[in-house]
Structure 1
């Protein structure tokens, strides 16, 4: 296991989420292409296949991300932080016994939390020094079917509560990013918009270009 000497940090831009149930050879090839462009972070969705060698795949993905100094996170399964070189965990909901989780991991790690229209999650994240939050779902999405649509006023109110990095997720495409111009956020989380593209690197480049032209 890699010893993490310097804690990687999440940048602004495209936060890439990948599905480990994708054919592994295709997944690795697309990820290598995606990492030709700068991204904010890389998250492994908790969507493994039965009997899949999870630890081995997480180590392979971590190695690819770390070559580019990109932090690699796991979705929900924080226990893997104890046995793999993952940089952190993204929780889909407020975790129970978070202090015990930190004690169990026993090393610094990045933590993120999915939020919706309930601002109590934002307040919890702030009080517990979570590194970033992600709002889901911004637009209707075939991938984020479990998320309610987020009211833009919720995101505006969040900025009055906290200055932590905010990412937006769910149905976001380069052609609708301009609908987010009035909001203050650091980046967008994308799954199929990048990994479903013939050229993931070109897709990231397109997203990044649109994000850079956004005005707040």
Structure 2
């Protein structure tokens, strides 16, 4: 598996699937390095349909050696043959999840809470993610992260750091004094008319900083 860095695309399964599969394929061609399936499912969708969706995304990612994670629904990692899990919060049943996902990738959203960074380090998670760096409609449940908290994370953990929330190529320069490995993006790529070009643009700007 590739080193965890670069552009981390969060896929919203509440969008029309065929178009979303096409957009994901384009983003992979553009250089996306991690995929996460957001647990934002349509009402009434069955478990078998969720598994089919996850397996289709995994099939798209396989030729690019890109890891596919799922948000929160940890039992779908094994059921769908995925590579790991992203947690929005520290789970009460962490020991059960840890045992079930031994050897798999696990990341955690940490926000402004230093104690979560320390916990992620102690538990040897795969990465941490800060949400939200800028205001964003797709992450309206996240608090705005203070830049000093992101910078301080380097003294608390050696884990890869990803930033998310309202990040665009044109505002990326505002993060140039921070230390991080990659960016998590949803609408900046999926709502683009050309996801491949949008991904390449993010990567080019990321290299500058």
Please tell me the TM-score bracket, short chain as reference. Answer: over 0.9
Q: Which runs of 4+ in 1 moved over 4 A?
A: none
The 8 Å contact of residues 115 and 121 in structure 1, kept in 2 or not, is answered as yes
Distance 1:32 1:17 in 2: 13
After TM superposition, the structure 1 = structure 2 runs for residues 188-207 of structure 1, keeping only pairs within 5 Å, are 188-207=183-202
| Residues 74-126 of structure 1: CA deviation (Å, up to 9, x unaligned) | 00000112211100000000112222212234x42100000111111101100
2:125 aligned residue: 130
Distance 1:121 1:11 in 2: 19
Distance 1:45 1:146 in 2: 14
Equivalent of residue 74 in structure 1, options 63, 66, 70: 70
| Residues 119-170 of structure 1: CA deviation (Å, up to 9, x unaligned) | 1110110010000000000001111100000001101111011111000000
Distance 2:2 2:73 in 1: 20
- In the superposition, the TM-score normalised over structure 1's length comes to 0.92
- In the superposition, the TM-score normalised over structure 2's length comes to 0.95
Equivalent of residue 162 in structure 1, options 157, 172, 190: 157
Matched, 1:98 2:94: yes
Matched, 1:211 2:206: yes
After TM superposition, the structure 1 = structure 2 runs for residues 49-60 of structure 1, keeping only pairs within 5 Å, are 49=42, 50-52=44-46, 53-60=49-56
The 8 Å contact of residues 10 and 41 in structure 1, kept in 2 or not, is answered as no
Structure 2's unaligned 5+ residue stretches are none
The 8 Å contact of residues 5 and 33 in structure 2, kept in 1 or not, is answered as yes
1:29 aligned residue: 22
SS at match of 1:140: coil
The number of residue pairs the alignment matches comes to 206
The 8 Å contact of residues 115 and 122 in structure 1, kept in 2 or not, is answered as yes
Deviation of 1:9 after TM superposition, in Å, equals: 4.2
Structure 1's unaligned 5+ residue stretches are 1-7
SS at match of 1:175: helix
Equivalent of residue 111 in structure 1, options 102, 106, 110: 106
2:7 aligned residue: 14
